[in-house]
Amino acid sequence: TKKSNRSPAIIIHNKLTMASFADAARFLLLTAVGIAGNPSTADAASASPVSGWRSDLDWAALNSKLSSSASLIDTSYDDYAGECRPEFSEPWDSISNHALIDQPSGMCLPWLYLGWEMSWPRPSENGHLNQTFNQAYQDILDLFNDASTDVESWLADPTNPSLNLPSKVLFPSIASDVVAAVNFAKEHGLEISVKNSGHSYQGASSKKNTLLLNMNRYTHYAPTGITDCDASILGSTVTEDLSNQPCLLSLAKNKSSLIRVGGGENFDKVYRAVIAANEEEGYKYHLVGGYAGTVSPMGWSWQGGLGGSTGGRLYGFGVDQVVQLEMVLPNGVHVKFGPTDWEDASAEGFTVPRTKVVSGVCRSNPDEHDEENWVWQSCPEDFDIDFNDMWFAVRGGGGGTWGVVTSVYLQLHDYLPFKSYLFNNPPFRTEKCTAIFPQFAEFVAHYMSAPSLLNVTKERSHACGSPDPRAGIYCHGEEDVMQAWTRFLDLNNSTDPANVACLFSSDKLASHYNLPAPPGYAEFMISFAKNLRADRFPGKVPDDPPGKIGADLAGVLVPQSWLDEGEENRKTLQENGTPYYYAFGGAAASGSDQANSLSQAHRNAAFMAYFSDDYFWGNLFPKMFDISDKTKFPPVFGSNHAGFLTAGPLKEDWTKPCPREWTFEERREKCISFQEAIYGTERLARLEAIKKAVDPQFIFNCVNCVGNNLPEASKSEDDEPSPAEAEPLLGNSSDETSGASFVSSF
Ligand SMILES: Cc1cc2nc3c(=O)[nH]c(=O)nc-3n(C[C@H](O)[C@H](O)[C@H](O)COP(=O)(O)OP(=O)(O)OC[C@H]3O[C@@H](n4cnc5c(N)ncnc54)[C@H](O)[C@@H]3O)c2cc1C
């Protein structure tokens, strides 16, 4: 091992510029750092280990089954160092995953350290189990403070046992490639990891000693994927091959169009497909999606999908946009499935029908490459996977663990005019505005979760969302944000016009740059990038500079009901939390089909916020959540933004944080797990039971995913309740409030 003599120049990732978009800016104490400096590729190459993972296997046999446009390649640390690391030498705010996604090895990750276990390059033989949380924290603090550490030598060491890189990468291009890979893995007892953007904060999309399926070259359906449903089919029965199921379900939701998206397409590609259709046909479509162009509807949707900038409060979470799923399951079968029977649930306060039955079909000719010739039929008699369970598990239970999603039909909504509002951002930034940011944060809190205090109706409030007040407010349809801001300043006796001007709309920005007002969120981001940031990828929806939520507490889903108890609760949060994520309430609360695994905490939340762990567990947790039943830990965190150090409190006392001086092994044993804190005890039990039923070999075993933390012995144990016994087949679990009771509260 050679130590590089290059000093690690640390770039702290906490600028509150317009360019520091929401997720990047969202940090507790030390979430985001990047290393500058060229890779020591030469050093690495000279010490490169032999890449021999499972060289005993007949990989040529797998190769022979792949389509001509798929490729299976050997990869090594050298590829990561040579192809991926240079990007992190770019100025911090122009680093982009757009530069990394298409690198030939398919290994690059948007956050350099994701290439090491737990995003922590300190060497460890057992995945850091023997090291303490304090050590991890200190290592990151050292980087934060530009203190001298051994990090450069860890990063440059190709034999570092903490490296977490796969040495076989498959780029499937059609479903038969995925079928071949899963069957090969099944036959040889291999694990598969699945990656789209690699953005998973938990590092769930890449893992050493796995066959990595990099989905980026998979068939792109979005460019021609929009379907306008013919309303005359309403009332027809679902065809046996489910071909009319997406439209029938959409029409039942009073929606008339949808889009098919491939398992490797990111939001940049999907947004641009929608823009192209809108430009061609006159603006009529709206897609709910993520903030950054490189985030994909895959992990984003399966983990929940917060649409803070794209109308999530009008149309629901990512899971609520899914109309039909097509997947290759861990048993190697290519299936598609979706609801085929539903009923009106408006009387209980839901805005979409309740799913009663989910049906699926299997492809009877899985080796056929040409999609024109695919044959979808009833699944064979020995096919023992329940599609109701799959529909529930995939939508909310996380990506990468239930199989490979090859395509999905997503709901499109009617187009609504768009406007964004930015506070104290270039080119209109002033010192005076910087000083009043706390007031602006308070204003946003009221606008989003107590609008009546500003004389704003709930409907108008729901038209807007915000991934972070520092990144702007994004509205679709009617709203009155400027008027409400003026009223807020009035109420606070601070009507100075300079204060009013701290908030400005996208229209003002556009006119400043002599551009047309952006008709939608993605258009706004594209033209914003062109004007205010280094535009390395013109025409693409930008992504954030690399961010990492690495702190000890993930985003807490703050219950609206607790907030409604009194203004003092809101004040407590303002004094102790960080800026909030507003993608909750409205249709995000009421848009559930009641057959998904997204935790009820999402539906009940007013927003998501970050706190220090000792303050949260000791003070807020017992007040915000019902912890009277000690056998059922409630769901607390949002999965999309949960970092690799996230854990619940002490098992024996839920008001105490998991001790930081403990090793990760002790923490795993004695603290509430990451998964339990995301899903809650009850829902997790059902998900784990489904996991064991659909993937008994644990072919899919991604980091921090459902089932990943189960002790080896219990993975094959049969003493678990069946999925249906663990929780009713469809519908809410008993310890959670119904959608209806929440809907009426906000
Ligand atoms: C810059 C940035 C902006 C973000 N903005 C938002 C936002 O606005 N709202 C929000 O809710 N979250 C947001 N997030 C969080 C984001 O939702 C998660 O990082 C999510 O994991 C990204 O999913 P992905 O598919 O892009 O990433 P990946 O890391 O590629 O995948 C995430 C998970 O999905 C699995 N997966 C990927 N593709 C497939 C597939 N085809 N089949 C099965 N499993 C698959 C992976 O195995 C992994 O487990 C943001 C994150 C970043 C870094």
DSSP E strands: which ranges in 364-434? Answer: 376-377, 404-414, 418-423
CA 29 to chain centre: 21
Give CA torsion, residues 26, 29, 30, 32, to 10 deg.
10
Report the 10 Å Cβ neighbour count for 740. 16
Tell me how far the alpha carbon of residue 55 lies from the centroid of ligand 1, in angstroms: 31
> How buried is residue 60: exposed, middle or buried, by Cβ count under 10 Å (0-12/13-18/19+)?
exposed
> Is 306 touching ligand 1 by the criterion CB < 6 Å?
yes
Q: What share of residues in the chain are helix, strand, coil (percent, to 5)?
A: 35, 15, 50
Taking the C-alpha atoms of residue 702 and residue 121, their distance in angstroms, rounded to an integer, is 19
Taking the C-alpha atoms of residue 99 and residue 542, their distance in angstroms, rounded to an integer, is 11
Task: Kindly tell me if the per-residue pLDDT of 607 is higher than 90.
Answer: yes
Is-contact 174 219, C-beta < 8 A? yes
> Is 406 touching ligand 1 by the criterion CB < 6 Å?
no
- Which tens digit of pLDDT belongs to each residue from 102-140? 999 999 999 888 999 998 999 999 999 999 999 998 887
Taking the C-alpha atoms of residue 59 and residue 633, their distance in angstroms, rounded to an integer, is 45
Tell me how far the alpha carbon of residue 246 lies from the centroid of ligand 1, in angstroms: 24
What is the reported pLDDT for 92? 81
Domain ranges in the chain? 9-217, 222-364+387-414, 418-532
Taking the C-alpha atoms of residue 76 and residue 85, their distance in angstroms, rounded to an integer, is 13
Tell me how far the alpha carbon of residue 300 lies from the centroid of ligand 1, in angstroms: 4
**Can you tell me which residue has the tokens 């399926």?**
213
Which is it for the CA torsion 224, 351, 239, 231, positive or negative?
negative
Atom of ligand 1 lying closest to residue 638 CA: 11
What is the reported pLDDT for 94? 84
What is the reported pLDDT for 15? 25
Tell me how far the alpha carbon of residue 146 lies from the centroid of ligand 1, in angstroms: 30
Q: Which of 205, 310, 704 to mutate to test the pocket of ligand 1 (most atoms within 8 A of CB)?
A: 205
> Is 556 touching ligand 1 by the criterion CB < 6 Å?
no
> Is 598 touching ligand 1 by the criterion CB < 6 Å?
no
Q: Tell me the pLDDT band of 740, cut-offs 50, 70 and 90.
A: very low
What is the reported pLDDT for 534? 64
What is the reported pLDDT for 439? 93
Tell me how far the alpha carbon of residue 199 lies from the centroid of ligand 1, in angstroms: 5
Mean pLDDT for 525-541 is 80
> Is 261 touching ligand 1 by the criterion CB < 6 Å?
no
Helix 437-449 to helix 481-491 angle, to the nearest 10 degrees?
A: 120
What is the reported pLDDT for 307? 98
Q: Residue whose CA is closest, atom 21 of ligand 1? A: 200
What is the reported pLDDT for 553? 65
What is the reported pLDDT for 573? 87
> Is 286 touching ligand 1 by the criterion CB < 6 Å?
no
- Which tens digit of pLDDT belongs to each residue from 57-97? 999 999 999 999 999 999 999 999 999 999 999 888 888 99
Taking the C-alpha atoms of residue 336 and residue 379, their distance in angstroms, rounded to an integer, is 10
Tell me how far the alpha carbon of residue 670 lies from the centroid of ligand 1, in angstroms: 29
What is the reported pLDDT for 528? 81
DSSP E strands: which ranges in 81-187? Answer: 168-171
What is the reported pLDDT for 150? 84
Close Cβ partners of 567 (under 8 Å, ≥ 6 residues apart): none
Q: Which of 200, 202, 306, 549 to mutate to test the pocket of ligand 1 (most atoms within 8 A of CB)?
A: 200
Report the length, in residues, of the chain.
Answer: 746
Report the 10 Å Cβ neighbour count for 219. 17
E strand or H helix that includes residue 278? helix 267-281
Tell me how far the alpha carbon of residue 291 lies from the centroid of ligand 1, in angstroms: 11
What is the reported pLDDT for 471? 83
Task: Kindly tell me if the per-residue pLDDT of 162 is higher than 70.
Answer: yes
- When comparing pLDDT for 101 and 479, which is higher? 101
Q: Tell me the pLDDT band of 547, cut-offs 50, 70 and 90.
A: low
pLDDT more than 90, % of the chain: 75
> Is 303 touching ligand 1 by the criterion CB < 6 Å?
yes
Mean pLDDT for 606-632 is 94
What is the reported pLDDT for 717? 67
Atom of ligand 1 lying closest to residue 21 CA: 1
Tell me how far the alpha carbon of residue 68 lies from the centroid of ligand 1, in angstroms: 28
Write down the CATH number for the domain with range 222-364+387-414: 3.30.465.10
What is the reported pLDDT for 49? 40
Q: Tell me the pLDDT band of 52, cut-offs 50, 70 and 90.
A: confident
**22-31, 140-149, 565-574: which has the minimum mean pLDDT?**
22-31
> Is 404 touching ligand 1 by the criterion CB < 6 Å?
yes
Taking the C-alpha atoms of residue 1 and residue 153, their distance in angstroms, rounded to an integer, is 8
Helices (H), 395-473: 431-435, 437-449, 458-462
> Is 106 touching ligand 1 by the criterion CB < 6 Å?
no
Taking the C-alpha atoms of residue 464 and residue 466, their distance in angstroms, rounded to an integer, is 7
- When comparing pLDDT for 226 and 11, which is higher? 226
What is the reported pLDDT for 299? 97
CA 732 to chain centre: 23
Q: Which of 549, 598, 640 to mutate to test the pocket of ligand 1 (most atoms within 8 A of CB)?
A: 640
Q: Residue whose CA is closest, atom 41 of ligand 1? A: 263
What is the reported pLDDT for 147? 62
Mean pLDDT for 302-331 is 98
- Which tens digit of pLDDT belongs to each residue from 378-411? 999 999 999 999 999 999 999 999 999 999 999 9
Structure tokens at 280: 């061609």
**Can you tell me which residue has the tokens 């703050």?**
558
Structure tokens at 160: 């570092």
Q: Average model confidence (pLDDT) for the chain? A: 88
Tell me how far the alpha carbon of residue 203 lies from the centroid of ligand 1, in angstroms: 10
Taking the C-alpha atoms of residue 378 and residue 1, their distance in angstroms, rounded to an integer, is 57
Task: Kindly tell me if the per-residue pLDDT of 269 is higher than 90.
Answer: yes
Atom of ligand 1 lying closest to residue 218 CA: 41
- Which tens digit of pLDDT belongs to each residue from 335-366? 999 999 999 999 999 999 999 999 999 999 99
Q: Which of 92, 207, 298, 598 to mutate to test the pocket of ligand 1 (most atoms within 8 A of CB)?
A: 298
Tell me how far the alpha carbon of residue 204 lies from the centroid of ligand 1, in angstroms: 9
